[in-house]
A and B are shown apart, each in its own frame.
Chain A
Amino acid sequence: MSPRKDGPGALHGIKVIDLAGTVATGYCGKLFADQGADVLLVEPPEGCPTRRLPPFATGVPAPEASGMHAYLSANKRSVVCPDHAALIALAEGAALVIDDRPGRDRPLTLGELESCSADGVLLSITWFGQTGPYRDYAGSDGVCQALTSQIDWLGEPDGPPVIPGGYQAQIIAGMTAFVGSMGQILARELGNVSGPGHLDVSVLESNLCFSEIEALRGFAGKPTRERLGVNRFRATYPLGIYPCRDGWLGVTVLTPSQWNAFCELLGFDDLAGVERYQQSLERLQDADELDVRIQVRVSRESAADLAKRGQALRVPLTVVPTMDQIFDVDQFVERAAFADVTHPDLGTLRLPASPFRLYAMPAAQGGAVARLGADTEAALRQAGCAS
């Protein structure tokens, strides 16, 4: 079975307007755009927030220099909207309008949306949501990861917790908002719902998907996850990332059969025979000692070769590709996990392709990024406004 090569996209005919241009709203919009929806990024004259996010081509912030903006904005149109009346005209027939406002100063109210799109959905993606005591708090990815307890588990037990790199919390929120808003759009197309709706998505609650089960364990009086060290998580051991001769090897060994096969792979006959090491939790007790042996043993080997031989023994091993190796990982090459995004000033960037594959109606692979305001004139003319 192989995917169909091109088509209008499964979300063709859906119009989405992003009034915020944050990583969270941008990723939500990107999921729509990659599947064929018409996504308008409505920006202020100085450009939306993602244009000011690193990495930058020259190391210096500039509206057309952000690699993150390029990733989030391929296949979208960029419109600088002159006034409120033009915004109303642009929103005509929109299935979804996205903002990032906690309650006040909404650029387009639900009533205004209803007047130009009877079944339109207004989606607000904010750090903390539309209600509650933190509603107006200042947010960031790390702040939300702190409040969901996710970073409490990361790092040395006696040192500070570690903040995950990048914009991970916002990407998760964008994805969560996509699920909620696609549900609303589909509900209207199925005739299960009619009229406007307002969806409230917070980065905070979206990221509880990583820790909610721990919270339930805490409620039941069971022990919850603690910070045990870098790449140490109860009760799986060995679990970690080890330097090899030519790169990094990712290891996860949980069951007795995986442990015995792992020992076979590394020639640890003496360890395979230790009765109590059949249990992952017991191995974790001796992790520091075992780590040294694993470390010494794998340092002479090729990571890719060990991963391949380990997988043949049904042990979940993998290479942990660095950013310059990742484009050449054979599995990613074979599945076209990366695609070319073209930017009028930055040239061609290799970036992650749409993560799920519809075999009958494929997503766009890569695409073009619009300069700030590149589509203003055409979009306003289409909306019946003189620019």
Chain B
Amino acid sequence: MSRPTFLRGLRIVDLSMGWAGPLATRHLADMGAEIVKVESCVRFDWFRGWEASQRWIDDNEAEKHEPFNGLNRNKFDVTLDLSKRRGRDLLLRLVAVSDAVIENFAGDVLPKLNLGFEVFKAVKPEIVMVSMPGFGSTGPWSKYRAYGSTTEQAAGLPHLTGHPEHPPTMVHIALGDAVAGLNGASAMLVALRHLKRTGEGQFVDLSHSECLLPLAAHGIAEQSLTGAPPPRLGNRSRHYAPHGVYPCSDGRWLVLQVQSEQQWQALRSAVGSGVAGFGDLTDRLERADELDGAISEWCARQPAADAMDSLQAAGVPAAAVAASKELMADPHLQARRFWKILDRAYIGKHPNGVAPYRLQGGPLEIEWPAPTLGQHNREILAHV
């Protein structure tokens, strides 16, 4: 099956590696843009793996790593050695016939290769370039090193999660990467729209850390509005009750967030006598310990999946906490055909999650799996 042709005719040179940049270009590739991913045989995308043992090389492990294979379908792949004149020339010829370039190197990498927006602009005056360093391309931190964890920390976000007796609590090992990827795709689409309307290209940059500030907006707004930050209350809320994570009879956990009186009435009908003595929101917030005890008692009598089913049947936002290895079997995702099985050299059949937007009721098709290193050298480089 063919992927959609929404963005047909747009060609983007993709110098990015890892997670953020490749996620940005995966969105564009899924919608039909031509993404030419540039790697080198020596410096390939580090999401192909970060070992270099002889056995790892002999086993072609660089072609088998899930992170790479999950982020690069529907893209073309060429290998160029940008430190050599020939490789650099070919890159510039490729840029000359493209609409945009995207990169997420640390700030000092492209200048060392004598590459950058001004160089690309010289060969293609209306080029769009999206640059995605950890802290942005300007300011005193522009050369700072960062992982997706560093950028979450710098955005202050951990101060808004977790229990007061614990340190500020991170929500991911690399939150900044996926979020910057979504922002990178957004930024590219906005700049391409401007290009197609006005003929004007431009430099675009983002800071992964600033991309995380919207996730902290509720805390920043509270600080700005009241002069004090929201307190960290673990899984409790100052505004809603019951609100928490409760253990069930099978050792699994149930998340419950009752956020309206309607949902509270629904919970009362599902849980029954154990919560009959609790009243309005003020009463429930005042007696939150007691209320949590009553909910826990009800949860302890049944498996988490059953608790979720009966609460949801009544209209209560509740869910059993899933483990990652169970996601492939989730009935909802299966019914929506979220996981698509692809076939690829070296690994054979393997799944990919489809694009998280569907048109006219169906998922967007994936045309081909992540490319092997240099798979499209002949096809692409012959034309430049």
A positions within 8 Å CB-CB of B:
1, 10-11, 13, 27, 31, 35, 54-57, 59, 67-68, 70-72, 128-134, 137-155, 160-168, 171-172, 175-187, 189-190, 192-193, 197-202, 204-206, 208-220, 222, 224-225, 230-231, 233, 236, 239-243, 248, 250, 252, 254, 311, 314-326, 329-332, 334-335, 337-338, 346, 349-353, 355-361
Residues of chain A within 8 A of B331, CB atoms compared: 133
Most B Cβ at <10 Å: residue of A130, A181, A213: A213
In the complex, are the beta carbons of A225 and B159 less than 8 A apart? Answer: no
Q: In this assembly, does B286 line the interface, its C-beta being within 8 Å of a C-beta of chain A?
A: no
Q: How far apart are A300's CB and chain B's nearest CB, in angstroms?
A: 17
Q: Chain A interface: which of B76-84, B165-173, B374-382?
A: B165-173
Residues of chain A within 8 A of B8, CB atoms compared: 190, 192
Q: Which 6 A-B pairs have the closest CB atoms?
A: A250-B153, A180-B357, A67-B221, A218-B325, A360-B202, A214-B324
Residues of chain A within 8 A of B92, CB atoms compared: none
| Docked complex Cα distance between A315 and B203 (Å) | 28
Q: In this assembly, does B229 line the interface, its C-beta being within 8 Å of a C-beta of chain A?
A: yes
Q: In this assembly, does B40 line the interface, its C-beta being within 8 Å of a C-beta of chain A?
A: no
In the complex, are the beta carbons of A68 and B146 less than 8 A apart? Answer: no
In the complex, are the beta carbons of A211 and B359 less than 8 A apart? Answer: no
B208-249 to A contact mask, C-beta < 8 Å, 1/0 = 011101111111111111111110101100110000111100
Residues of chain A within 8 A of B58, CB atoms compared: none
Q: In this assembly, does B69 line the interface, its C-beta being within 8 Å of a C-beta of chain A?
A: yes
Most B Cβ at <10 Å: residue of A222, A225, A352, A356: A356
In the complex, are the beta carbons of A54 and B239 less than 8 A apart? Answer: yes
Q: In this assembly, does B336 line the interface, its C-beta being within 8 Å of a C-beta of chain A?
A: yes
Q: How far apart are B324's CB and chain A's nearest CB, in angstroms?
A: 4
Q: How far apart are B148's CB and chain A's nearest CB, in angstroms?
A: 9
In the complex, are the beta carbons of B193 and A11 less than 8 A apart? Answer: yes
In the complex, are the beta carbons of A208 and B325 less than 8 A apart? Answer: no
Q: In this assembly, does B136 line the interface, its C-beta being within 8 Å of a C-beta of chain A?
A: yes
In the complex, are the beta carbons of B5 and A329 less than 8 A apart? Answer: no
Q: In this assembly, does B182 line the interface, its C-beta being within 8 Å of a C-beta of chain A?
A: yes
| Docked complex Cα distance between A133 and B28 (Å) | 29
Q: A160-B246, A197-B360, A242-B167 are in contact. Are A216 and B216 (CB under 8 A)?
A: no
In the complex, are the beta carbons of A358 and B190 less than 8 A apart? Answer: yes
| Docked complex Cα distance between A140 and B258 (Å) | 9
Residue of A nearest to B239 (CB): A54
Q: A57-B225, A162-B162, A323-B222 are in contact. Are A68 and B217 (CB under 8 A)?
A: yes
| Docked complex Cα distance between A210 and B356 (Å) | 12
Q: A139-B317, A142-B255 are in contact. Are A149 and B322 (CB under 8 A)?
A: yes
Q: List 11 A-B contacts (CB under 8 A).
A: A67-B218, A68-B221, A137-B312, A147-B330, A154-B169, A163-B244, A172-B182, A210-B172, A214-B327, A218-B327, A241-B158
Q: Which residues of chain B (322-359) have a CB below 8 Å from chain A?
A: 322-328, 330-333, 335-336, 338-339, 350-353, 355-359
In the complex, are the beta carbons of B169 and A318 less than 8 A apart? Answer: no
Residues of chain B within 8 A of A129, CB atoms compared: 336, 358
Q: A201-B356, A318-B146 are in contact. Are A149 and B338 (CB under 8 A)?
A: no
Residue of B nearest to A131 (CB): B336
Beyond A10-B193, A166-B219, A323-B229, list 6 extra A-B contacts (CB 8 Å): A160-B244, A240-B167, A320-B153, A322-B156, A324-B223, A352-B216
A132 touches which of B156, B230, B257, B335 (Cβ 8 Å):
B335
In the complex, are the beta carbons of B325 and A215 less than 8 A apart? Answer: yes
Residues of chain A within 8 A of B69, CB atoms compared: 216
Q: How many residues on the B side are at the interface (Cβ–Cβ under 8 A)?
A: 142
Q: A67-B221, A323-B223 are in contact. Are A356 and B149 (CB under 8 A)?
A: no
Q: A10-B193, A154-B169 are in contact. Are A187 and B31 (CB under 8 A)?
A: yes
Most B Cβ at <10 Å: residue of A10, A208, A215, A325: A215
In the complex, are the beta carbons of B336 and A216 less than 8 A apart? Answer: no
Most B Cβ at <10 Å: residue of A172, A208, A315: A208
Q: In this assembly, does B7 line the interface, its C-beta being within 8 Å of a C-beta of chain A?
A: yes
In the complex, are the beta carbons of A176 and B153 less than 8 A apart? Answer: no
In the complex, are the beta carbons of B70 and A212 less than 8 A apart? Answer: yes
| Docked complex Cα distance between A317 and B135 (Å) | 12
Q: In this assembly, does B191 line the interface, its C-beta being within 8 Å of a C-beta of chain A?
A: yes
B160-182 to A contact mask, C-beta < 8 Å, 1/0 = 11110011111111010011011
In the complex, are the beta carbons of A219 and B351 less than 8 A apart? Answer: yes
Residues of chain B within 8 A of A148, CB atoms compared: 322, 327
B6 touches which of A187, A236, A346 (Cβ 8 Å):
A187
| Docked complex Cα distance between A178 and B186 (Å) | 7
| Docked complex Cα distance between A11 and B192 (Å) | 10
Q: A54-B239, A224-B323 are in contact. Are A138 and B317 (CB under 8 A)?
A: yes
Residue of A nearest to B132 (CB): A356
Q: A131-B361, A215-B324, A335-B210 are in contact. Are A185 and B193 (CB under 8 A)?
A: yes
Residues of chain A within 8 A of B288, CB atoms compared: none
A71 touches which of B187, B217, B228 (Cβ 8 Å):
B217
Residues of chain B within 8 A of A150, CB atoms compared: 171-172
Residue of B nearest to A178 (CB): B186
Residues of chain A within 8 A of B230, CB atoms compared: 55, 165, 323
Most B Cβ at <10 Å: residue of A68, A179, A335: A179
Residues of chain A within 8 A of B221, CB atoms compared: 55, 67-68, 70-71, 349, 351
Residue of B nearest to A243 (CB): B167
| Docked complex Cα distance between A355 and B171 (Å) | 20
Residue of A nearest to B178 (CB): A209
A179 touches which of B189, B217, B218, B335 (Cβ 8 Å):
B189
Q: In this assembly, does B32 line the interface, its C-beta being within 8 Å of a C-beta of chain A?
A: yes
In the complex, are the beta carbons of A138 and B206 less than 8 A apart? Answer: no
In the complex, are the beta carbons of A335 and B139 less than 8 A apart? Answer: yes
Q: How far apart are A49's CB and chain B's nearest CB, in angstroms?
A: 10
Residues of chain B within 8 A of A355, CB atoms compared: 183, 206-207, 210-211, 213-214
Q: How far apart are A233's CB and chain B's nearest CB, in angstroms?
A: 4
Residues of chain A within 8 A of B169, CB atoms compared: 154-155, 162, 230-231
Q: In this assembly, does B291 line the interface, its C-beta being within 8 Å of a C-beta of chain A?
A: no
B146 touches which of A137, A160, A216, A316 (Cβ 8 Å):
A316
In the complex, are the beta carbons of A184 and B182 less than 8 A apart? Answer: no
| Docked complex Cα distance between A176 and B326 (Å) | 23
Residues of chain B within 8 A of A190, CB atoms compared: 7-10, 196
In the complex, are the beta carbons of B327 and A215 less than 8 A apart? Answer: yes
In the complex, are the beta carbons of B182 and A331 less than 8 A apart? Answer: no
Residues of chain B within 8 A of A54, CB atoms compared: 218, 222, 238-239
